């Protein structure tokens, strides 16, 4: 299963960056299809893009450092977006370990 990633984008709405503009740039510079970006949100000074891991690497390799509106564009991995099942399994494993640690501490 391929993980989804969230990328940080260093430009926001004040810089003229919108979801549509970013999608156009991703198509032009990284060759991504318009629908390969899963979602986007832009604030005043920055934004976030959600996409599959293999597409994230294409963006990082081809768009990080390009100039948009006379400013360099920075892209960085902000977060791994896990599938719900993975998160639940990881949380359960963490809880089991914590319970085990407490039991060991209580016995000491």
26 within domain boundaries: yes
90 within domain boundaries: no
Sheet holding 75-81, edge to edge: 37-42, 47-52, 4-9, 75-81
pLDDT value at 7 more than 90: yes
Q: What is the pLDDT of residues 18-72, one digit of tens each?
A: 999 999 999 999 999 988 999 999 999 999 999 988 899 999 999 999 999 999 9
* Mean of pLDDT values over 81-91: 50
Instruction: Please state the domain count of the chain.
Output: 1
Distance CA 9, CA 19 (A): 11
66 within domain boundaries: yes
pTM given for the model: 0.72
Range of the domain at 8: 4-82
CATH number of the domain within which 43 lies: 3.30.70.330
40 within domain boundaries: yes
């Amino acid at each position: 299963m391929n993980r989804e990633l969230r990328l940080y984008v260093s430009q926001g709405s004040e810089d003229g960056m919108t979801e549509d503009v970013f999608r156009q740039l991703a198509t032009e510079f990284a060759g991504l299809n318009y629908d390969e970006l899963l979602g986007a949100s832009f604030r005043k000074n920055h934004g976030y893009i959600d996409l599959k891991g293999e597409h994230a690497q294409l963006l990082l390799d081809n768009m990080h450092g390009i100039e948009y509106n006379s400013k360099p564009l920075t892209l960085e991995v902000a977060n791994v977006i896990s599938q719900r099942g993975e998160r639940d399994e990881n949380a359960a494993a963490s809880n089991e370990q914590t319970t085990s640690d407490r039991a060991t501490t209580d016995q000491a």
